[in-house]
A and B are shown apart, each in its own frame.
Chain A
Amino acid sequence: MANQETILTVENLGVKFDNNEVLKGLSFFVKKGDVLAIVGPNGSGKSVLFRALLNLVPYSGKIQWAPGLKVSYVPQKFNIDKELPLSVQEFFKFKEKNSKKIISALKSVGITDEHHIEHHILKERLGWLSGGQLQRILIAWSIIDNPDVLLFDEPTAGIDVGGEETIYNLLKKLKDERGFTILLISHDLNIVYKYANNVICVNKEMICYGEPNSVLDPTALANLYGGEAGFYKHEHSHDH
């Protein structure tokens, strides 16, 4: 990994909302093929970091992407109204008109039965899918235009533990097959140890940065969560 090219450099990044500092002094870089996990308590600015990386909020400091990169983003809290009249097919067509490409994207996220895809999945309302199914659809949607970098904000929020594991295995498989670079926000430290090669701990400032096994020590975790991280549980509240 050491000789891979750097595709993202962040230096002294800061974000303020109405004079309220939400992030300050973040510096890190991402190399091609990295899986970078971003961890931190609720309201620590993780989602804001993503939005700054996507240039959706004003920021200070430097964010430099390698030129010509295509970045795909799946935001947190993707609660789609059951009543929303939008079929899976129509959702895909907003991004890709070619039905073959849609089917192939769905196959690569583990929905393999073509008959099932064409006659059920694509015709289903987006809001009628189960949490796990919807997450697969969103992953398929995010990779359909062959991005270089994927940004996932809590890719398994609202999915049960078994399903969570499946989604992460899927992301790992896709990364290995296609060489994506992945940045993901996660609350689950087990996931971070298992899948990420780098981690940033954020609580408005950068608390730690490096390989999970060497930087996620008890001191860092205590600094990050202000207590016993082993008992840390995610309460699903929204952080901006």
Chain B
Amino acid sequence: MNIAMITNPILFQLLVGVLIGLGAGYLGSFMILKRMSLVGDVISHVALPGIALALIFEINPFFGAFAALFLAVVGIWFLEIKTELPSETLVGIFFALSLAIGILITPEPELLEALFGDITKIGSADVFMTIALIIVMFFAMFRIYRGLTLSVVSKQLAQSMGINVSKISFLFLLLVAIIVALGLKVTGIFLMGALVIVPAAAAKNISIGLARFTKLAALFGGISALGGILFANHFGLHPGPIIVLTSGVIFLLTLLFKK
């Protein structure tokens, strides 16, 4: 495996990038359904202090990021079930503050990578972890997408059918935390929100129904990662922004065929 990585690292970048793109696009479609498009954006900021602490204590930054995101997700979930009030302001303030703290405590050499990602630096552990977690994510989504969608249509209707809305909501947010933590390697903190939302927004432009919407969102996420990494590799550019720009191009194209 290590030999293959040294001789052909681009294949591994593509594998990891495309898997994360598929997962981010798919989850993003449900975030749009749940009208929480901006959550993906702000939530990723919380990861920075987690990454910083992981770097300071010399553990894999993924776990630091995930731990911070997990706490954020619990917070959002709590606001969601305990209050019917819009939690945007509170979430916005909290997340901006954690970004500020994160910038202060992240060691300087790693700061740029944390903020913008660097998929060229993935190791074999990242490859295995990505494959495993993306499989888990799709499996979990397969189990909960019905309840998730029905609870968007009407929370009370879903509850009356025996669907545990708050449990499903929590599981979903947990999956969002996982995909954001994974994606930090690809696009970094500043652009992960875009990788979750832009492919899904593009898919929504050209879909009437749910099945097409969610599948296209995953596909566009995957294509953005594929195209972005190849293009960046060819021209010696930073892959993260190119991936996001690729998804932006897809979005613009779908606008032409908007339903």
Contact = CB atoms under 8 A, between A and B. Distances in A.
A78 B154 contact: yes
B33 interface: yes
The listed residue with most A CB atoms (<10 A of its CB), out of B150, B159, B210, B212, is: B210
Contact of A125 (B149, B154, B209, B211): B209
- Interface secondary structure of A, over-half rule: loop
A85 B204 contact: yes
B233 interface: no
Contacts of B150: 94
Interface string B14-45: 00000000000000000001010000000000
A181 B207 CA distance: 39
B209 A86 contact: yes
Interface string A104-139: 000000000000000000011110000000000000
The listed residue with most A CB atoms (<10 A of its CB), out of B35, B154, B204, B211, is: B154
A86 B210 contact: yes
A80 interface: yes
A123 B207 CA distance: 11
Contacts of A198: none
Nearest to A153: B156
Contacts of A56: 156, 159-160
The listed residue with most B CB atoms (<10 A of its CB), out of A81, A87, A126, is: A87
Contacts of A84: 33, 152-153
B213 interface: yes
Given A123-B208, A125-B209, A86 B156 contact: no
A98 B33 CA distance: 25
Nearest to A76: B156
Given A94-B149, A94-B150, A85 B156 contact: no
B160 A85 contact: no
B153 A125 contact: no
A89 B209 contact: yes
Nearest to B145: A94
A74 B159 CA distance: 11
- Interface secondary structure of B, over-half rule: helix
Given A54-B160, A125-B208, A85 B33 contact: yes
Nearest to B160: A73
A86 B160 contact: no
B157 interface: yes
A91 interface: yes
Range, interface on chain A: 20 to 34
A73 B146 CA distance: 18
A41 B60 CA distance: 59
A31 interface: no
A172 interface: no
A91 B208 contact: no
Given A85-B208, A85-B209, A90-B211, A51 B156 contact: yes
A210 interface: no
A126 B160 contact: no
A78 B153 CA distance: 8
Nearest to B156: A75
A51 B212 CA distance: 34
A138 B105 CA distance: 54
A75 B154 contact: yes
Contacts of A80: 153
A13 B106 CA distance: 58
B157 A87 contact: no
A150 to B, nearest CB: 12
A151 to B, nearest CB: 8
Contact of B153 (A71, A83, A86): A86
Contacts of B207: 85
Contacts of B208: 85, 87, 123-125
B156 A90 contact: no
The listed residue with most B CB atoms (<10 A of its CB), out of A75, A78, A80, A81, is: A75
19 contacts: A54-B160, A71-B160, A73-B160, A75-B156, A78-B157, A84-B33, A84-B152, A84-B153, A85-B33, A85-B208, A85-B213, A86-B153, A86-B209, A87-B209, A87-B210, A90-B210, A94-B149, A123-B208, A124-B208
Interface of B: 33, 35, 146, 149-150, 152-154, 156-157, 159-160, 204, 207-213
Given A75-B157, A86-B153, 8 more contacts: A51-B156, A71-B160, A75-B154, A78-B154, A85-B209, A87-B210, A123-B208, A123-B209
7 closest Cβ contacts across the A-B interface? A87-B209, A75-B156, A73-B160, A85-B213, A86-B210, A90-B210, A54-B160
